[in-house]
Chain A
Amino acid sequence: MKGGPPHSAFGSRYGEAVYAGEDAAAQCRETPLARVIARSVLSLALAAVVGSLVVFVLLRSIGGDVAHIILGQYATPGALEALQEELGLNAPWYVQYRDWLGGVFTGDLGTSYSARFDIFDEIMRRLGPTTMLAFGSLLISIPAALAFGTFSAIQVKKLRGGVVDVASQIGIAIPAFWAGLIMVLVFGIRLGWFPTGGYVSPFEDLIEAVRGLVMPTLALSLGITSVLTRYVRSAMLDVMGEDFIRTAMAKGRTRRGAARVHGVRNASVSLVTVGTLQLGALMAGTVVIENVFVIPGIGRLLVTSVLGREVIVVQSLILVILLLILVMNFLMDIAYVLIDPRIRDRQGGRAIA
């Protein structure tokens, strides 16, 4: 699933800086980073609390708790009650939530009800495959998008550019799981080039690990590459009309050369933004891809925990996912500065214009 916004950065922070308007830009100039960081930390902390509370209440309010899952179809009412008591499922919901939240502040996410694994350890273990999958996809998508997008922008009036453009539209429209299924059929079963699923840690066997990741990563990156390609293309087209390109051309550079120098930088900035924003979509994509390729990552833990009513595992996952988004946001802030120190000024300028 390329869930979430397709080839669009709804809620782009880039866009927000433009629109949140003058005061935001002004604030940025006064207290450049601290305020921005404080604000995003606050937002995400709030998101974590609200999110975990909503999940908790929703999952508690529906039929079937983890005791039913543990005891299975042969459960007797007496045994169910005893187990619910033992697991503390009979306590009022706010007591249960408070206990979990208290644990979070002391650094203990708790133990899963049924499998009795330490939730923190398990999430850390699951992060490995998921991050490899997600970042593997970005590693493919970003350079590919830069190449395709630039090509398509430079060749905008030619058939070649149009073909890339159309291809990226089709890429967006292909469901990741469908791409995955077809890859399994063709490259896994018919040709036998890659394993059809499963996961091998790179610390155990690097080659097998890479072989196993090829198909899921490609399936996942198809959509993202297409989305990013369209961004790069737009950013390049945007830049090619700007004054400094004309200046560069006047200085004797070719249009293409000028576009490459200035355009790629501009495109990279928008890529960084979009890359962060695609994290939600990436998350959604990994859930489905991990299910198609049987990869023991965060996404599958999420699905099994929801179906298994492992409420505190789901809450903890939300917390960790939001933490990751927080970290990514910090990194992107740094990346902004690294790639283009003028970016903030330019945004401010635009907003006022």
Chain B
Amino acid sequence: MPDQSERSGSRPWYRILRLPLPLIVGAVLVGAFLIVALLSYVWTPHDPLKLVVPDRLLPPGSRDYLFGTDKFGRDVLSQLMAGARNSLYVSLLSTSVAILVGALLGLLTAGAGPLWRNVLSRLIDVGVALPGILIALVLATSTGPGNQAAIAAITFWFIPIAARVTIGPARQILALDFVEAAYAYGRTKWYVLLHHVTPNIAPLLIVLGSVMFAAAILIEAALAFLGIGAQPPTASWGRLLQESQPLLEAAPTLMFFPGAAIVLTVLGFNLLGDGLRTVLDPQQASRSGLI
């Protein structure tokens, strides 16, 4: 939705720069997340999987262990970094596949004739109506618990949504004058979809990607928390939270760090999405009422 202030012309309190504040804060948080996640591939303070059982449950600030250790004597900071990597991996893969497939499906539906459009729309509706958590549970069981189950679940959860979001704007653009002109010029429908519609819905998809990425992180954490996502010894924020539960007396900080990491990252992606929406195409976004 647009910022009202843009219409009224005055700036709200948070507009310090030309860019909206949410975009800046979001970009900083997302950037930090990406740096930590990518850094963890090459460097972590300790090996996140290295067990030093005699060093178990050290409090934060202990020698060598800035954030303390878990019940296996693993370094919490390293685990958090590896967890960021896992979130990035699962969310990026599932979100990008879902958006690519979903958008393609949406474009096909929008461009199809009345009969196929109706059939495909109904099928997409069916996909949207199926509760995602159900799909996730069943997929996790059938593929065996693990990251691959989480990725499959989130992808299938998001595809119909991405498709549904695409159909409307795509059809709207197809109905515009310049599309008529393109047809008159002898362009095929597919040419129009590819060269006129796709670039126009790209901003929408970018915003959608950011928001879906945030949701994917939350879902990944929840699936890992329920024991059907990332499996040990893979470090995942949700799994770290689950493992911290029984240690709430012995090591209360274990519960704090992964939760805070999730909140900051999700917040970052949502703010980024918000900011992008304002910057990229407020008109479009406001018209859609979707995101």
- Give chain A's interface residues, CB within 8 Å of chain B: 1-12, 14-16, 18-23, 39, 42-44, 46-47, 50-51, 54-55, 58-59, 61-62, 153, 156-159, 162, 169-170, 172-178, 181-182, 185, 189, 233-235, 237-238, 240-241, 270, 279-280, 283-284, 287-288, 291, 299, 302-303, 306-307, 314, 317-318, 321-322, 325
In Å, the complex CA distance between A29 and B254 comes to: 58
- Cβ contact within 8 Å between B4 and A177: no
- Cβ contact within 8 Å between A178 and B122: no
Query: Of A174, A291, A306, which is within 8 A of B263 by CB?
Result: A174
Please give me the 10 A-B residue pairs with the lowest Cβ-Cβ distance, nearest first: A19-B168, A1-B222, A234-B1, A173-B266, A284-B133, A11-B164, A237-B4, A10-B161, A173-B267, A47-B126
- Cβ contact within 8 Å between B241 and A177: yes
- The answer to whether the Cβ of B5 comes within 8 Å of any Cβ in the partner chain is yes
A-B contact number at CB 8 A: 237
- Cβ contact within 8 Å between B4 and A240: yes
- Cβ contact within 8 Å between A6 and B270: yes
- Give chain B's interface residues, CB within 8 Å of chain A: 1-5, 7-8, 10, 12-14, 22, 114, 121-123, 125-126, 128-134, 136-139, 141-142, 144, 157, 160-162, 164-165, 167-169, 171-172, 175, 208, 211-212, 214-215, 218-219, 221-223, 225-226, 238, 241, 245, 248, 252, 255, 259, 262-267, 270-271, 274, 286-291
- Grouping DSSP codes into helix (H, G, I), strand (E, B) and loop, the B interface class, with mixed when no group exceeds half, is helix
- Cβ contact within 8 Å between B262 and A19: no
Query: B residues within 8 A CB of A284?
Result: 131-133, 219, 222
- Grouping DSSP codes into helix (H, G, I), strand (E, B) and loop, the A interface class, with mixed when no group exceeds half, is helix
Q: A11-B290, A173-B266 given; name 9 further pairs at CB < 8 Å.
A: A3-B132, A10-B165, A10-B291, A39-B122, A54-B138, A169-B22, A175-B221, A185-B248, A237-B2
Query: B residues within 8 A CB of A162?
Result: 12-14
With contacts A5-B161, A50-B126, A322-B129 known, is A181 near B241, CB below 8 A? yes
Query: B residues within 8 A CB of A303?
Result: 137, 226
Query: B residues within 8 A CB of A270?
Result: 289
25 contacts between A and B (CB under 8 A): A10-B290, A11-B128, A15-B289, A46-B122, A47-B125, A47-B130, A59-B141, A61-B142, A62-B142, A156-B12, A157-B12, A173-B270, A174-B262, A175-B259, A178-B263, A185-B248, A189-B248, A240-B4, A280-B131, A280-B132, A283-B131, A283-B133, A284-B222, A287-B226, A306-B141
- Cβ contact within 8 Å between B262 and A173: yes
Query: A residues within 8 A CB of B219?
Result: 1, 3, 284
- Cβ contact within 8 Å between A21 and B172: yes
- Cβ contact within 8 Å between B248 and A8: no
In Å, the complex CA distance between A245 and B129 comes to: 36
Q: Give min CB distance, B61 to chain A, whole Å.
A: 21
In Å, the complex CA distance between A54 and B142 comes to: 11
With contacts A156-B4, A157-B5 known, is A177 near B129, CB below 8 A? no
With contacts A11-B161, A303-B226 known, is A172 near B175, CB below 8 A? no
Query: Of A7, A16, A158, which is within 8 A of B270 by CB?
Result: A7
With contacts A6-B214, A175-B222, A177-B241 known, is A159 near B13, CB below 8 A? yes
In Å, the complex CA distance between A238 and B2 comes to: 8
Residue of A nearest to B161 (CB): A10
Residue of A nearest to B245 (CB): A181
- Cβ contact within 8 Å between A314 and B4: no
In Å, the complex CA distance between A3 and B141 comes to: 18
Q: Give min CB distance, A24 to chain B, whole Å.
A: 10
With contacts A43-B125, A59-B138 known, is A4 near B157, CB below 8 A? yes
In Å, the complex CA distance between A270 and B141 comes to: 36
With contacts A7-B270, A43-B125, A280-B132 known, is A19 near B169, CB below 8 A? yes
